[in-house]
Chain A
Amino acid sequence: MIWLGIDTSNVPLSIAVVKDNQLLVEWTSSIKVTHSVGAMPAVEEALKQANINPGEIDVIAVAEGPGSYTGVRIGVTIAKTLAWTLKIPLVGVSSLQTIAGNGLLFNGLICPIMDARRDNVFSAIYTNDLTADLPDGHYAIETILEKLALKQENVLFVGKDVSIHWQAIQRVLGDRAIRAPFYLDLPKASVVIEQAMKKPLPSIEETHHFVPEYKRITEAETNWLAEQQKVGESND
């Protein structure tokens, strides 16, 4: 069984090839190169290094979001197109669960953080077997910290953006907050594959309907809904 894994959810890029439960190649970088330029050459190179032709891939696993809208879309578009044209299944894995997976052996809760500006984050709370205690979503950082304050366990914070919120985290959780070492902050496509392996394989007919998990409607829609509500209220 040959798996290709892709994560382009935020600035970092990660591509992995796994064959029969062995990681053959993994390329992970955190250089600010747009995924549109970097992702496909990395896929090409990883497969070349692994000596695998595109036609030999059996399954594709992709980080499906949340994250940067454009970033998530590039990974999903590449994964969808490859899976569809190669007629192989496509499995999506939460981008938050992917970075939480870096802390798999931690004795406590795992909180992946992606900054979403204005004191908001894409985040979740995972137990150390990677089940979601609080589902993936777009939250105020304060909301996450209030939930964690009610728990007893230590919390491992993972992700490049943890540093942005570290002061607030420490203020609320004190010594219970553990900062993951830097090398655990980047998403790894091998983790995307590992999590995907635990899911049932979708049929290849489902590939067309695969969509990113944005976890947030667009600003235009938010404004439009607010306006509709205003119109509704003034008509009451």
Chain B
Amino acid sequence: MSKDQIILGIETSCDETAASIVRNGCEIVSNVVASQIESHKRFGGVVPEIASRHHVEQMTIVIEEAMKQANMQPSDLDAVAVTEGPGLVGALLIGINAAKAFAFANQLPLVGVHHIAGHIYANQLTEPMQFPLLALVVSGGHTEIVLMPDHGTFKLIGETRDDAAGEAYDKVARVLKLPYPGGPHIDRLAHEGVEPIAFPRIWLEEDSYDFSFSGLKSSVINYMHNAEQRGEEIKPQAVAAGFQASVVEVLTAKTLRAAKEYKVKQVIAAGGVSANKGLRKSLEDTFAKEGIPFNVPPLFLCTDNAAMIAAAGSVMFEKGIISSMSMNGKPGMTLFDWN
């Protein structure tokens, strides 16, 4: 029997300082996340310089906690995987330089992981992936449909042409004067059973898998503005429900059409917005009806974490993809194949 493969994952691409230990790419041994949400709340969004400062304060504490919870020593590890990009550059650099120093001191190989590949491989931690696979990646920075013919091959078949879905949620939340981060508040209001306002669905060209959310965001702002002018009462629940219905319908319909066209064996959702209850239910119901296996990881694996980076890093390491000590943070990194 071959020895277990143990990977330490590190993630600092935005406002979570995270470290995790994953066994054989699929089993979480420990998973530690230090969130900074409270620090950024008063600014209404993530302040990059403050995020970087917190990462420096938390990084070694978080790695130590992950090692402690796993009851492991550096000598038990096979490699260190770290988010190389995309993300906030100053934030990425903390995780990367900590990973490099740790790998160097303990003579371990280093693996630079794409953040979105990490989100997709979060699914591997709950259920084996089946190929061809279709991933809907939705977060504050991303709205993408990715086709994977096999492990480590990524074909981007659709993406947002303007705002990411999570960004649209945050902007609409701000218009509704909801606290940061706005996504969960809109999700909650949308479920309060108030008749939704009818907002448009932006489909773009008939055969396109791309998305556009800035028009929808403008419709919401216009609606609020006109209602205010007319002195009408604005029901935030109705606005939230209408906005969410539009986002969810477009995301679900395009994912379903792509799943059918590419005859995939499994559909997965990934990224922070896949924690949204409305979206999860719509995708679950739709794919159940179509008889296409659908998986979305539990909430704690949808938001940023390091277990997903270790899971993706595990497969990359198996394929012999190793980074050097001169690895840099890549804020605009694109997905690449692991061949």
A218 at the interface (CB under 8 A from B): yes
B52 to A70, Cβ gap below 8 A?
yes
A81 to B47, Cβ gap below 8 A?
no
- Give chain A interface residues in 1-55, CB to chain B under 8 Å: 34, 36-41, 43-44, 54-55
A43 to B326, Cβ gap below 8 A?
no
A85 to B106, Cβ gap below 8 A?
yes
Which of B56, B96, B324, B325 sits near A76, CB closer than 8 Å? B56
B101 to A38, Cβ gap below 8 A?
no
A45 to chain B, nearest CB (A): 9
B61 to chain A, nearest CB (A): 5
| Chain A minimum-CB-distance residue to B110 | A40
A40 to B98, Cβ gap below 8 A?
no
**Residues of B contacting A39 in the complex (Cβ-Cβ under 8 angstroms):** 97
CA A235 to CA B107, docked complex, whole Å: 60
**Residues of A contacting B156 in the complex (Cβ-Cβ under 8 angstroms):** none
**Residues of B contacting A70 in the complex (Cβ-Cβ under 8 angstroms):** 52, 90, 93
Which of B50, B64, B100, B107 sits near A78, CB closer than 8 Å? B100
A69 at the interface (CB under 8 A from B): yes
B101 to A81, Cβ gap below 8 A?
yes
B56 to A43, Cβ gap below 8 A?
no
A41 to B326, Cβ gap below 8 A?
yes
**Residues of A contacting B59 in the complex (Cβ-Cβ under 8 angstroms):** 77, 80-81
**Residues of B contacting A224 in the complex (Cβ-Cβ under 8 angstroms):** 42-43
Which of B47, B63, B74, B93 sits near A74, CB closer than 8 Å? B93
| Chain A minimum-CB-distance residue to B93 | A36
| Chain B minimum-CB-distance residue to A221 | B50
- Give chain B interface residues in 282-331, CB to chain A under 8 Å: 324-329
Interface residues on B, range: 20 to 34
**Residues of B contacting A81 in the complex (Cβ-Cβ under 8 angstroms):** 59-60, 63, 97-98, 101-102, 105
- Of A182-190, A192-200, A206-214, which binds chain B? A206-214
CA A37 to CA B329, docked complex, whole Å: 9
B64 to A40, Cβ gap below 8 A?
no
* Known contacts A70-B90, A77-B98: A54-B105 contact under CB 8 Å: yes
**Residues of B contacting A54 in the complex (Cβ-Cβ under 8 angstroms):** 104-107
**Residues of B contacting A73 in the complex (Cβ-Cβ under 8 angstroms):** 52-53, 56, 90, 93-94
A208 to B104, Cβ gap below 8 A?
no
| Chain A minimum-CB-distance residue to B92 | A36
Interface string of B78-117 (1 = CB under 8 A from A): 0000000000001001101110111011110000000000
Which of B53, B60, B101, B327 sits near A207, CB closer than 8 Å? B60
**Residues of B contacting A177 in the complex (Cβ-Cβ under 8 angstroms):** none
B38 at the interface (CB under 8 A from A): no
A219 at the interface (CB under 8 A from B): yes
A40 to B97, Cβ gap below 8 A?
yes
Which of B50, B61, B104, B328 sits near A44, CB closer than 8 Å? B104
**Residues of A contacting B327 in the complex (Cβ-Cβ under 8 angstroms):** 36-37
B57 at the interface (CB under 8 A from A): yes
CA A106 to CA B47, docked complex, whole Å: 43
A139 at the interface (CB under 8 A from B): no
Which of B74, B96, B104 sits near A36, CB closer than 8 Å? B96
A231 at the interface (CB under 8 A from B): no
**Residues of A contacting B192 in the complex (Cβ-Cβ under 8 angstroms):** none
**Residues of B contacting A36 in the complex (Cβ-Cβ under 8 angstroms):** 93, 96-97, 327-329
B337 at the interface (CB under 8 A from A): no
| Chain B minimum-CB-distance residue to A81 | B101
B97 to A77, Cβ gap below 8 A?
yes
A72 to chain B, nearest CB (A): 9
CA A212 to CA B101, docked complex, whole Å: 17
**Residues of A contacting B60 in the complex (Cβ-Cβ under 8 angstroms):** 80-81, 84, 207-208
A78 to B97, Cβ gap below 8 A?
yes
A85 to B326, Cβ gap below 8 A?
no
B78 to chain A, nearest CB (A): 16
Which of B50, B64, B90, B326 sits near A37, CB closer than 8 Å? B326
A156 at the interface (CB under 8 A from B): no
A130 at the interface (CB under 8 A from B): no
A205 to chain B, nearest CB (A): 11
B150 at the interface (CB under 8 A from A): no
CA A81 to CA B327, docked complex, whole Å: 17
A93 at the interface (CB under 8 A from B): no
**Residues of A contacting B127 in the complex (Cβ-Cβ under 8 angstroms):** none
**Residues of B contacting A214 in the complex (Cβ-Cβ under 8 angstroms):** 53
B93 to A220, Cβ gap below 8 A?
no
CA A39 to CA B96, docked complex, whole Å: 12
CA A85 to CA B102, docked complex, whole Å: 7
A-B contact pairs, 16 of them (CB 8 A): A37-B327, A40-B100, A40-B101, A40-B326, A44-B104, A44-B325, A55-B105, A70-B93, A73-B52, A81-B60, A81-B97, A81-B98, A82-B105, A85-B102, A208-B61, A211-B57
* Residues of B participating in the A interface, judged by any CB pair closer than 8 Å: 42-43, 47, 49-50, 52-53, 56-57, 59-61, 63-64, 74, 90, 93-94, 96-98, 100-102, 104-107, 324-329
* Nearest 10 interchain pairs by C-beta: A81-B101, A220-B47, A40-B325, A84-B60, A77-B97, A81-B98, A218-B49, A40-B100, A54-B105, A78-B101
